[in-house]
């Protein structure tokens, strides 16, 4: 089983602290980690950790910082298709601080919106080999190209809808499953009215709600005692795409799988320490 994931790749510099610093204050960190990040990227790492093949289509480039992202993704077993391998600009960098007592985090980041447009080749072969694709809306040309190819080939499209982006005007009618954060709000008609068959809304520790044209429901989230919440939403979306690619399950089943995987992620400290722990969770889905 293969999942194609298209979107943002960042370099995350993660500092773990006892307490968040006040303005003007300096604090010593307990540990420092550097890893590739971004919604589609963390979702790809999740898919690979669950035992499926993960192909990430993104822009990484040739900047020295890009080598850190490449090395991390190779170590995680993710196949990377870099659409602009000669790009000299730095990849987006996220500065992350995680509080040790409860795993809460703050993030200062810069996404791909200010970068040059991406030239997207024909991705039909990659899409055809996938059981599902996930797009995060970053690199709009890429998201549209992947979603259009998937629609023409009958491959389900999962959208990580963290926040509204202009590209969603054209992208939502191509989406099969829109997984929205609690803060997601579409101007005008909602996702269902724009043609999305399945809409899911996450809300942190509160139940995950879902709806289709015929039915709706909610799935509770287990209290797992979080140690590190960085990227938990991205992990949840990767597990959702993994379940959709496996096929044959209900929306409730997809969500329960995603909840279990994200719940395991937040129990572990660090951006990659959780990957070995979730491998067993992919066995019943493959």
Q: What is the pTM of this model?
A: 0.94
Rg (CA), the chain: 18
Q: What is the pLDDT of residues 193-248, one digit of tens each?
A: 999 999 999 998 899 999 999 999 999 998 888 899 999 999 999 999 999 999 87
Q: Is the pLDDT of residue 286 over 60?
A: no
Q: Using the 8-state DSSP alphabet, how is residue 87 labeled?
A: -
Token pair recorded at residue 26 = 């300096």
Mutual angle of helices 39-49 and 64-75, in 10-degree steps: 30
Number of Cβ within a 10 Å radius of residue 240: 29
Please state, in angstroms and rounded to a whole number, the distance separating the CA atoms of residues 49 and 231. 14
Mutual angle of helices 232-246 and 39-49, in 10-degree steps: 60
Q: What is the pLDDT of residue 147?
A: 98
Cβ atoms of 48 and 73 within 8 Å: the answer is no
At 197, is the secondary structure helix, strand, or coil? coil
Q: What is the pLDDT of residue 109?
A: 86
**What is the greatest pairwise CA distance in the chain?**
54
Q: Using the 8-state DSSP alphabet, how is residue 22 labeled?
A: P
Q: What is the pLDDT of residues 25-46, one digit of tens each?
A: 999 999 999 999 999 999 999 9
Q: Using the 8-state DSSP alphabet, how is residue 274 labeled?
A: T
Q: What is the pLDDT of residue 222?
A: 87
**With pLDDT > 90 as the criterion, what percentage of the chain qualifies?**
90
Q: What is the pLDDT of residue 69?
A: 97
Q: Which residue has the tokens 């985090």?
A: 105
Mean pLDDT on 169-197:
95
Token pair recorded at residue 132 = 């599902």
At 187, is the secondary structure helix, strand, or coil? coil
Number of Cβ within a 10 Å radius of residue 72: 22
Q: Is the pLDDT of residue 114 over 70?
A: no
Q: What is the pLDDT of residue 201?
A: 97
Q: What is the mean pLDDT of the chain?
A: 94
Measure the CA dihedral 5/272/77/141, to 10°: 20
Please state, in angstroms and rounded to a whole number, the distance separating the CA atoms of residues 161 and 38. 13
Q: What is the pLDDT of residue 170?
A: 97
Q: What is the pLDDT of residue 32?
A: 97
């Amino acid at each position: 089983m293969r999942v194609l994931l298209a979107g943002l790749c960042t370099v995350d510099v993660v500092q773990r602290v006892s307490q968040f610093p006040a303005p003007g204050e300096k604090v010593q960190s307990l540990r420092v980690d550097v890893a590739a990040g971004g919604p589609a990227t963390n979702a790809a790492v999740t898919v690979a950790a669950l035992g499926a093949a993960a192909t990430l289509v993104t822009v990484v480039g040739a900047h020295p910082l890009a080598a850190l992202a490449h090395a991390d993704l190779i170590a995680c077993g993710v196949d990377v298709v870099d659409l602009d391998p000669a790009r000299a600009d730095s990849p987006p960098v996220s500065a992350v601080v995680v509080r040790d007592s409860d795993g809460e985090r703050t993030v200062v980041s810069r996404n791909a919106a200010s970068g040059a447009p991406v030239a997207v080749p024909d991705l039909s072969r990659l899409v055809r080999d996938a059981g599902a694709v996930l797009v995060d809306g970053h690199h709009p040309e890429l998201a549209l190209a992947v979603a259009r190819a998937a629609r023409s080939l009958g491959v389900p499209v999962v959208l990580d809808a963290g926040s509204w982006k202009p590209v969603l005007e054209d992208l939502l009618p191509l989406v099969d499953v829109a997984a929205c954060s609690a803060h997601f709000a579409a101007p005008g008609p909602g996702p269902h009215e724009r043609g999305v068959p399945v809409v899911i809304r996450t809300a942190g520790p509160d139940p995950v709600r879902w709806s289709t044209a015929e039915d709706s429901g909610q799935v509770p989230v287990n209290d797992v005692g979080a140690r590190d919440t960085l990227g938990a939403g991205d992990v949840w979306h990767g597990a959702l795409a993994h379940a959709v690619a496996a096929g044959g399950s209900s929306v409730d089943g997809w969500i329960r799988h995603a909840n279990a995987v994200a719940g395991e992620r937040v129990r572990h400290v660090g951006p990659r320490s959780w990957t070995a722990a979730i491998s067993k969770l992919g066995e019943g889905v493959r």
